[in-house]
A and B are shown apart, each in its own frame.
Chain A
Amino acid sequence: MGDQRTRIGEGQSDDGLGPNTDIGSRLRALYGSVQDEGVPDQLLDLLEKLDSAEKLQGRDDEAHDE
């Protein structure tokens, strides 16, 4: 119980994917290269729209409450 050793790090060196392993490093390099591309504007815009729609909605609700 409470053994969290399989969390990032230790557990992963056991399975050959730790920081000094070939496969692990290559996986992370590949994955990291996609992460480093940044998030496309259309996605950021979508999140902004969802957020502002919700804020408007919230304001309406509040107005009705009072």
Chain B
Amino acid sequence: MSKGAGDEQAPSFKREMLATLPSLRAFAVSLTGKHDKADDLVQDTVMKAWAKQSSFEMGTNIKAWLFTILRNEFYSQMRKRGREVQDSDGAFTERLSVHPAQYGSMDMQDFKNALSKLPDDQREAIILIGASGFSYEDAAAICECAVGTMKSRVSRARIRLQEILQVAGQADYGPDAVSTQVTTTTLSLGNR
């Protein structure tokens, strides 16, 4: 009888983990700056998470739980390696294999450079809130800081990014660059 619950839990733990992997991996790339290192980090995280899945309550936020494990793993590995990873200047430093269609490559390069100039804590804050889609409460729990601290990191990160981008890109793009986003419409051919 007691085994039954475990059997039902295992496949959906795996499913939920699978669903979170793309975002977890993007966060890992933002921390390590390198795809190969990010994949190693995600792999370590998956193994850690699997080993301690009994400490995860199904129905609670698996994404925040996995991000916490990954982030802890990243910083503990960095400490062990004497922060050599730091040299990689985190945040998507590698060339992207899939380029965001709505931005020119120069725009995105400027943006990546700007991100890499942020202090680590501000960069991870603005990524968790702005891109991973966490609430301030969850992001603060992931980073083990107060919600107010998270808010001020995000706000300082945004202001700093704006400053850097304005200086870097005054000639490249105006403030309306985003509103020129193209919406692609797919031709519906019907089912037959």
* In the complex with contacts A6-B137, A30-B108, A38-B22, A47-B14 CB distance below 8 A: yes
Which of B96, B130, B151, B155 lies in contact with A33, CB distance below 8 A? B96
Residue interface mask A23-42, B partner, CB < 8 A = 1: 11111111111111111101
Interface size band for A: 35 or more
Q: How many A-B residue pairs have CB under 8 A?
A: 134
Main secondary structure of the interface of A (DSSP, over half): helix
**Cβ-defined contact, A23 with B161, below 8 A:** yes
Main secondary structure of the interface of B (DSSP, over half): helix
**Cβ-defined contact, B92 with A34, below 8 A:** yes
Q: A residues bordering B, Cβ < 8 Å?
A: 4, 6-8, 11-12, 15-17, 20-40, 42-44, 46-47, 50-51, 54-55, 58, 61-62, 65
Q: B residues bordering A, Cβ < 8 Å?
A: 3, 6-7, 10-11, 14, 17-18, 21-23, 25-27, 29-30, 39, 42-43, 46-47, 50, 92, 96-100, 102-103, 107-108, 111-112, 115, 126-127, 129-133, 135-137, 151, 154-155, 158, 161-162, 165, 175, 177-179, 181
